[in-house]
Amino acid sequence: MLFRLLVLSIVIGEVLGEYKNYDGFKILEVNFENPRVKKYVQEFDKNLGFMPDFLGENWKKKQAHYFINKDSVEKVKTNLVANNITYQMRDVNPQIFKVRRRRDLNGAITINDINNRYLSYDEQMQFLNSISQQYPNDVKLQKLGNSFEGRSITAVRIGDDGSNKPIVWIDAGIHAREWISYNVALYLIYTIVSQPAYRDLLNSVQLVVVPNTNPDGYEFSRTVDRMWRKTRSRFTNSRCGGADANRNYPFFWGTQGVSHSQCSEVYCGARPQSEPEVLALTNAIQREETRIKGYIALHSYGQEILYPWGHTQRTYPSDVEDLIKVGRAMASAIQAVNNTEYNVVNSGDGLYPAAGASDDWAKSRGIKYSYTIELSPIDDYIGFSLPEDRINQVCREAFQAIQVLMIEVKSKFGIKHSTSSVSSPSAQSSLLLKRMRTTANRGFGRGK
């Protein structure tokens, strides 16, 4: 009976739950191709007296997107006009704030669900449990720690046979509102273990996927505030909670592109690794960092593959050409799926540098190929709420990119297996990778 009451209350909670009201909020678009405008945008906080919530940018249109609080709309307009900046203010897409939480309490979560809808954290965990039961030799679940509210941060280890194979590490959703990243990670796990074509690759490279690195934030974004980005840490005597976990990593922490104010969307936390989620992830990575050769943090949106360093501008690792080459091979693999274009750029060289991000930290620990991928879309009207009928395509595209990285890690660091033959999808990506081994241009980037 107690259980039934509990289930009932969850269902009612889901039905009655209403999102935070964002009526009157606007999306601001500024074209920053002109250097004068770019400078203005870079000093937005000085010009306005506060930093508006940066959503992303459209690299094709050289357009920066901000979410403007309804109480600030007039002030922002006046300031833009006074500085002779042309801009567009758009209404927020009402679809974003439509609560779409369908739930089948009896049904098992299948790949069909991953391809077609956004799942709750519990559903994600249910899916991982069923995958690990279905493929007990290939999939091991590893608890890395707990979130602030006590949810498990779970890593999925694929192809862990106890050997010293190189590892590719993928983590998703450190920013709660970037929902597509969770589905991409779950799709990756399912596809690579269920299709025999990837057996050969997994014999040489181990994959570790952390499909939900910010479960508290994600659940909050699903049920209370669709635009929530941060963790859900609470602070004494503060009206604001949460830190930007992707500003909380211990590398040039708190220096650029962050805020030390708890109410900011880019609050970097009281100290490096103050967030339990970040502490769990950094501890886990450090335990096997000499074996990890590839790292990708999945974010949205913007269709970009970002490489370090991101904590400052015009500063690159000594092997940056390798990062660019593999980044461009990943972009080509994505484009081959359905002609979706991703830009390969340095994290710090765009609008803003951002210190304390996970890709910078991973690179600083010696992980050779370290990236942040901003998944689809590129357009701010859809932004973080990629329609569910587009989930599958983004998953398939990102899968190809991750496969390219795994093949590169295999060829550079993998244990040689003389007997295995290369299966067709791998062979395709190998060819692609070879074709892409040309000198790449440095594009125009941004802080994420």
Q: Which segment (30-38, 172-180, 305-313, 413-421) binds Zn ion by CB under 5 A?
A: 172-180
Closest distance to Zn ion from the beta carbon of 430 (Å): 31
Q: Give the active site residue among 57, 275, 374, 408.
A: 374
Closest distance to Zn ion from the beta carbon of 266 (Å): 11
The CA distance from 160 to 82, in Å, is 60
Q: Which residues contact 360 (CB under 8 A, 6 or more apart)?
A: 249, 251, 252, 308, 309, 310, 311, 347, 370
Q: Which segment (171-179, 208-216, 252-260, 348-356) binds Zn ion by CB under 5 A?
A: 171-179
Provide the 3-class DSSP secondary structure of residue 210: strand
Q: Which of residues 292-331 bind Zn ion (CB under 5 A)?
A: 299
Q: Which segment (174-182, 217-225, 272-280, 346-354) binds Zn ion by CB under 5 A?
A: 174-182
Q: What angle do CA 218, 146, 235 make, to 5 degrees?
A: 70
The CA distance from 156 to 129, in Å, is 10
Nearest one of 272, 392, 237, 404 to 333, comparing CA atoms? 404
C-alpha dihedral over 410, 411, 415, 420, to 10 degrees? Answer: 90
Nearer to Zn ion, 182 or 190 (CB): 182
Q: Is 247 in the site for Zn ion (CB under 5 A)?
A: no
Q: Is 230 in the site for Zn ion (CB under 5 A)?
A: no
Distances (CA, A) of 318 to 156, 232, 361: 31, 37, 15
The CA distance from 377 to 384, in Å, is 8
Nearer to Zn ion, 53 or 122 (CB): 53
Closest distance to Zn ion from the beta carbon of 283 (Å): 22
How many CA atoms does the CB half-sphere of 51 hold within 13 Å? Answer: 16
- Indicate the residue type of 437: R
Q: Is 65 in the site for Zn ion (CB under 5 A)?
A: no
Q: What number of chain residues touch Zn ion (CB under 5 A)?
A: 2
57 is catalytic: no
Please state whether the peptide bond connecting residue 309 to the residue before it is cis, i.e. omega within 30 degrees of 0: yes
Nearer to Zn ion, 26 or 299 (CB): 299
Closest distance to Zn ion from the beta carbon of 299 (Å): 3
Closest distance to Zn ion from the beta carbon of 175 (Å): 3
Closest distance to Zn ion from the beta carbon of 373 (Å): 10
Question: Which of 26, 151, 165, 175 touches Zn ion by CB under 5 A?
Answer: 175
Nearer to Zn ion, 410 or 448 (CB): 448
Nearer to Zn ion, 222 or 325 (CB): 222
Q: What angle do CA 387, 380, 22 make, to 5 degrees?
A: 85
List residues near Zn ion by CB under 5 A: 175, 299
Catalytic residues: 374
